[in-house]
Structure 1
Amino acid sequence: MPKAKLITIALALILVLALHVISTRRVSTILVSGSTSVEPLMCVWAYAYSRIKPDVRIDVYGGGSGKGILQVGSGVVELGAHSRPILDEDPPFNNVTIALANDAVLIVVNKKMPLIGVTRKALQAIFNYPPQEYPVETWIRVLLDDKPVDVKVTIERGHEGLIFMRSDLVNLTLRPYIRSEASGTAETLAAFLYGSWKAKWSGLQGMGVSGNEGMRRAVEEDDIAIGFLAKAIFNPARMRALLIMVWNGTMLIPYNGYDYDSTTGVPTDESIAKGAQGMALIKEHGRVPGGYPIARELYVSLNLDALEGRIPKYIADFLTWCLTEGQEFVELVGYVRLNEEQVSKGLELVEAHCSCGGEDM
């Protein structure tokens, strides 16, 4: 047989074998749903991981933290993403919960608004949570002639939920925006205002919008808007992050003494990590030195009962990657990397519950 023909046959056989391998390759799918705060980071991770593990497909859906916890608890998805802890009120299930990043909930206003700093008491009055008796007196920081000035104001709640802040120096009108669906971001703010995770996101009062993106659009488009969103969604060109402050008897100072960017008002990564790990938002008077008070860890949870008691290797490998190499993407999305202690804790949880000696599927 001619040599050229042998080569052609050999190449054809190689092609057939390659196609057979491709057609019989098993693709493992991981379904993720939940927090719209975790969603942008998880989408980046899903794409990056698929480049190095093409036999693992990761489908990511939003819907809010409540949806993520509900769906993983009922076995609909493998990973439920949530931006607040699992609470006693959530449907119980045999969960393993792993922190994957740190985040801050920013209180934001339209950039045209001269307000630059508020107290916890002012936020309680703005969102009427816990329910307030108006008028409320407290301190705020505003820009007057482009200079920061601390002003004592009286806060009233008016028609259609508008908020009026008045003093001899200022006369501000604010329109509060809240989340219209079960939201870890809203739950985190409510916990800070209430001082406990027993707080209810549904207790916040204002105009409802859907998701972090809905909140971003509302604040960007409404000159008198005040709302809250995840740090990764913050747009410094169109909005300002308010400083969270306390009155020390002489002047307003940052809550817990946290550090922040003087241009945008956004807390530093170190302040966010300290606040998130120390659960500053539910501790009396913060009591986490240097920690931004409305900070949180971002989580995924697994339902061990739905996974027959152990985490499959392909899921464990993905989570391990998120906790190690995948941390390089956290800051690119706008969140804050885990510290060494948080990483070690996550890896220990994965290893303790992994069926790593078994099949990939």
Structure 2
Amino acid sequence: MKTKIIGALALAGSMAFNTAAVANETISVVGSSSVTPLMEVFGETYSNTNSNVFVEVQGPGSSAGIRAAKDGSADLGMSSRNLKDSEKSEDLIEVVVARDGIAVVVHNNNPVNDLSKEDVTKIYKGEITNWKQVGGEDKPIVVVTRDTASGTRGAFEDIMSLKKKINDIKVSAISQRAQVASGNGQLKTTVANNPFAIGYISLGTVDNSLKAVAIDGRKPSVENIKSGEYQVQRPFLVLYQASRINPTTKTFMDWTLSDEAQKLVAAKGYIAIN
């Protein structure tokens, strides 16, 4: 009899565990490595008050996020650039959850503190190759860019006029000699460890390991982005298919636009939408 009671209790415990597991819902989010840190904060904060919901975030890049949202392989996609016409569809909803500046960054010991937009464009095209040409030391410039799937790169190319046409097709005008970093973290490390490197990263990820330079006399800051004085900026988009989104995911999306969530945006160094 005792064995039967223990067995029944174990079965009941197993059933309770399985019920709890079923009750827990996971929201999958895939896309921009720049949006990822903010989305992770969103997810953690939301789960603290909605314990049955887990937000799983992966950051392979904006292009991957757009594809994931369109083909349904993720509940939500993230992009740190505006979508191309070829990527848009009637059923694909684009939600701006924050805005972000793109900071042009150099090594802390680099004496250059200000560059013109034209200078930056020429550096990335390979037309300016030595720091002395822009007020720095007589040293070659080591140009670091992001991979082609990066939304940060896409936005940077658009803003800095780093596109060119070949056979009526728009392609990148960034020099093929530029080093390619796979994410914000790798680019930060590369620039922080090379006194003659230049790169660009999300403003919200800038720290004291490197220096963000002013562009045309305007420093990259939340205030200058809000006023429009610093124009190297882009939206943080979250994407979903209107016909596929489930109630749990839609409730989470609505929460990201709430005052509570937008305070997190500001606290992380990004620009709130309200």
Q: Which of 261, 273, 289 does residue 226 from structure 2 map onto?
A: 273
- Equivalent residues of 1:25, 1:55 under 8 A apart: no
1:243 maps to amino acid? A
| Match runs of 1:70-89 below 5 Å | 70-89=67-86
**DSSP-derived class of the 1:227 partner:** strand
The answer for the alignment partner of 2:255 in structure 1 is 321
1:303 maps to amino acid? Q
Root mean square deviation, CA, Å: 2.9
Worse-superposed segment, 78-87 or 179-188:
179-188
The answer for the alignment partner of 2:242 in structure 1 is 304
- State the alpha-carbon separation in 2 of the partners of residues 96 and 197 from structure 1: 29
Answering whether residue 176 of structure 2 is matched by residue 241 of structure 1, we say no
In the alignment, structure 1 segments of 5+ residues that lack a partner are 1-11, 135-154, 158-162, 246-253, 261-265, 276-290, 340-361
Please report how far the alpha carbon of residue 238 of structure 1 lies from its aligned counterpart in structure 2 after TM superposition: 2.4
- State the alpha-carbon separation in 2 of the partners of residues 182 and 90 from structure 1: 13
1:330 maps to amino acid? V
- Once the two structures are superposed, residues 195-233 of structure 1 have per-residue CA deviations (whole angstroms, 9 ceiling, x without a partner) of 889996843221111101011101111111100000121
The answer for the alignment partner of 1:214 in structure 2 is 186
Percent of aligned pairs with the same amino acid: 26
- Equivalent residues of 1:107, 1:228 under 8 A apart: yes
**DSSP-derived class of the 1:222 partner:** coil
Answering whether residue 173 of structure 2 is matched by residue 203 of structure 1, we say yes
Please report how far the alpha carbon of residue 39 of structure 1 lies from its aligned counterpart in structure 2 after TM superposition: 0.2
**DSSP-derived class of the 1:63 partner:** coil
Please report how far the alpha carbon of residue 334 of structure 1 lies from its aligned counterpart in structure 2 after TM superposition: 2.3
Please report how far the alpha carbon of residue 331 of structure 1 lies from its aligned counterpart in structure 2 after TM superposition: 2.5
Please report how far the alpha carbon of residue 312 of structure 1 lies from its aligned counterpart in structure 2 after TM superposition: 2.5
**DSSP-derived class of the 2:198 partner:** strand
Please report how far the alpha carbon of residue 304 of structure 1 lies from its aligned counterpart in structure 2 after TM superposition: 2.5
- State the alpha-carbon separation in 1 of the partners of residues 134 and 226 from structure 2: 36
- Once the two structures are superposed, residues 148-202 of structure 1 have per-residue CA deviations (whole angstroms, 9 ceiling, x without a partner) of xxxxxxx3x4xxxxx4534899534321100124111111111111188999684
Please report how far the alpha carbon of residue 19 of structure 1 lies from its aligned counterpart in structure 2 after TM superposition: 3.6
Q: Which of 175, 178, 181 does residue 142 from structure 2 map onto?
A: 175
- State the alpha-carbon separation in 1 of the partners of residues 135 and 247 from structure 2: 65
Q: Which of 319, 334, 341 does residue 269 from structure 2 map onto?
A: 334
- Equivalent residues of 1:102, 1:336 under 8 A apart: yes
| Match runs of 1:109-188 below 5 Å | 109-128=106-125, 134=127, 155=128, 157=129, 163-166=130-133, 171-188=138-155
Q: Using a 3 Å threshold, how does the CA distance of structure 1 residues 166 and 209 change in structure 2: closer, same or farther?
A: same
In the alignment, structure 2 segments of 5+ residues that lack a partner are 1-8
**DSSP-derived class of the 1:115 partner:** coil
- Equivalent residues of 1:102, 1:273 under 8 A apart: no
**DSSP-derived class of the 1:194 partner:** coil
Q: Using a 3 Å threshold, how does the CA distance of structure 1 residues 20 and 32 change in structure 2: closer, same or farther?
A: closer
**Length-normalised TM-score, structure 1:** 0.64
The answer for the alignment partner of 2:50 in structure 1 is 53
- Once the two structures are superposed, residues 13-33 of structure 1 have per-residue CA deviations (whole angstroms, 9 ceiling, x without a partner) of xx97x9479537522221100
**DSSP-derived class of the 2:140 partner:** strand
**DSSP-derived class of the 2:225 partner:** helix
Which is higher, the Rg of structure 1 or of structure 2? 1
The answer for the alignment partner of 1:356 in structure 2 is none
- State the alpha-carbon separation in 1 of the partners of residues 61 and 137 from structure 2: 37
1 or 2 for the larger relative contact order (CA 8 Å, sep ≥6)?
A: 2
